[in-house]
């Protein structure tokens, strides 16, 4: 269907699609002080804009808005057209509190009443 449109119109539509995709995505990758928007994300990889992002490798932080959600170890990144496809070796979810070193019963009382 796009074959009937001129090259300038197709390029304009592609730029608008990418701009909308970047604007809608709240996910971003932070490497040191540099920040790059994430276009798509799945369990063992993600896609970034190749024009904005250098080849990435190593440990990166993934944010959803201002909330830190993952630390990912990128082992491969391949440029496919205007997209940079990154593959993870691991992605670790970031918790906002320290893990417990004991088992907490779900039905345990919250507090004890000492005097009636």
Residue 84 CA to residue 50 CA, distance in Å, equals 5
Q: What is the CATH number of domain 26-93?
A: 2.40.10.430
Residue 62 CA to residue 53 CA, distance in Å, equals 14
For the chain, which residues make up each domain, given as ranges? 26-93
* DSSP β-bridge partners for residue 74: 58, 88
CA angle 16, 18, 19 (to 5 degrees): 65
Residue 6 CA to residue 21 CA, distance in Å, equals 23
Please say if the pLDDT value at position 15 is more than 90.
no
pLDDT given at position 101:
84
Please say if the pLDDT value at position 22 is more than 70.
no
């Amino acid at each position: 269907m796009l074959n009937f449109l001129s090259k300038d119109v197709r390029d304009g539509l592609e730029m608008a699609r990418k701009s909308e995709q970047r604007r809608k995505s709240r996910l971003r990758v932070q490497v040191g002080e540099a920040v790059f928007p994430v276009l798509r994300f799945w369990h063992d990889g993600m896609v970034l804009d190749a024009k904005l992002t250098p080849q990435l490798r190593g440990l990166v932080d993934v944010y959803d808005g201002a909330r830190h959600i993952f630390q990912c170890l990128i082992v491969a990144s391949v440029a496919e057209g205007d997209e940079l496809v990154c593959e993870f070796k691991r992605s670790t979810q970031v918790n906002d509190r320290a893990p417990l070193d004991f088992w907490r019963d779900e039905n345990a009382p919250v507090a004890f009443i000492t005097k009636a």
